[in-house]
Structures are given as structure tokens and as C-alpha cells.
Amino acid sequence: QKEVEQNSGPLSVPEGAIASLNCTYSDRGSQSFFWYRQYSGKSPELIMFIYSNGDKEDGRFTAQLNKASQYVSLLIRDSQPSDSATYLCAVGYNFNKFYFGSGTKLNVKP
Amino acid sequence: GAGVSQTPSNKVTEKGKYVELRCDPISGHTALYWYRQSLGQGPEFLIYFQGTGAADDSGLPNDRFFAVRPEGSVSTLKIQRTERGDSAVYLCASSLGAGPSSTDTQYFGPGTRLTVL
């Protein structure tokens, strides 16, 4: 079983701050990495994907991948109360098998 | 359709009964996945279809679970002799294909909440 580990939280940040979410994975062969946001009672919605080492930015979101350290992170700048949700890290193997972490709950306080 | 759809949204059944859960993927998506999500956990992989065939069913917990995708579009997850431990949200996701350059990016349906009494 390939492991994807996330701190369950909750992570609390004030509105306007940077939220930093982290994920580690066990399989060095993993090839694709995803961040999903899941509101309570809803299904996961895609925020970002990243395949290569380094940073990838999309609006207020930046994904960071370090394959040598088997580590992927998500930074949310200018956090808003509407960002309060559970953030799921997913790791893809052979582009057709995906393992999810248990998620980190983020609370953004107004 | 515009997104992945799943029916029913909620299903309550009694222990020992048979249930079918349906997934209609995004038009043109050849890859389809079933996951199970329990409270406080991330989605757990069950089965993956590429076209009509089950390319990987290693996540199915036992032989009570079976899934089909006869025409390469709609898929049905079938659970026989349901048990209380089967209670969870069953999520379906689809992607363009299975490969790099974002073709493996999955989009999820709203899920079916299954409750086994």
C-alpha cells in the first residue's frame, strides 16, 4: 500500500494570511500530484496538479513539488474564509492509480 | 454532460440487500474511477476503467463488489449482500485518459451516500 500522509489539522490562519499545507508520499515512482478541496458534504474539486519539481502558481495558489524529498505542498495566499475546507493531497502512480491522503482541515478566521 | 453525474444521491438499504450505483462520466472521458470515502478519510481507490475494460480492480474489497462499464461510458458499481461496513460515500471520477500532460486529471461526481442499516 502506498502511503500519502497529511497533517489532519485543523490548521487555523487569519484572513489575509498565507496557509501552508503539506503532504508526503512513500512511493518514489509516483508521477503526478494533485491538490483537491473538499467542502463538508461535497465531493472533491480540483485545485491544482503538478508533475515536475519546483513551483507552479495559479492565482492565489502555489503548488510545490520536491521528488527527492517525496514532498508536495500547497500555499494559499491572501486566505479567505471561503477557503475553509478540507484539502486532499493525491498522488498518481503510472497515471492511472491514485492514492489520497486523509486531508488537512483548514479554518480561515475572519 | 457538463460534469460527472451519479445516481442516486442517497441510498438506504438493509443488510443483505443488493444495490447498484450509477456513474455518468464527462463526455469524451475514457478513464473512469470508483472510490469509497468514509468519514474523516480520503477517497479510497476501488476500480479503474479504461474504455470498457476494468484495467485495475485491485481496490475492490471482496467479491461482493463488482463494477461494469459495458459501452465505455456509464458505469455501474454493484454491491451484493450489503454489510453495515459498506456504508460510505461512493465517488466516481473521470479523466480524459491515463497519461501525463494533465490527461490523468480526475474530476469527481457528487457521490452516492450509501447507508446500510
Nearest to A44 among B102, B103, B108 (CB): B108
Give residue B4's pLDDT band: very low, low, confident or very high (50, 70, 90): very high
Residue A30: per-residue pLDDT: 87
On the CB side of B90, CA atoms within 13 Å amount to 33
Residue pairs spanning A and B at CB distance below 8 A: 59
Q: Is the pLDDT of residue B87 over 70?
A: yes
Q: What is the pLDDT of residues B19-70, one digit of tens each?
A: 999 999 999 999 999 999 999 999 999 999 998 888 889 999 999 999 999 9
* Interface residue A39 vs chain B (CB under 8 A): no
| Backbone CA torsion sign across A32, B56, A43, B30 | positive
Closest residue of A to B50, CA-based? A96
| Number of residues in chain B | 117
Q: Chain A within 8 Å of B42 (Cβ-Cβ)?
A: yes
A94/B42 Cβ within 8 A: no
DSSP class of residue A18? P
Residue range A29-58: average pLDDT? 93
From the CB of residue A58, how many other CB atoms can be counted at a distance below 10 Å? 11
Task: Read off the pLDDT of residues A63-72 as tens digits, 9 standing for 90 and up.
Answer: 999 999 999 9
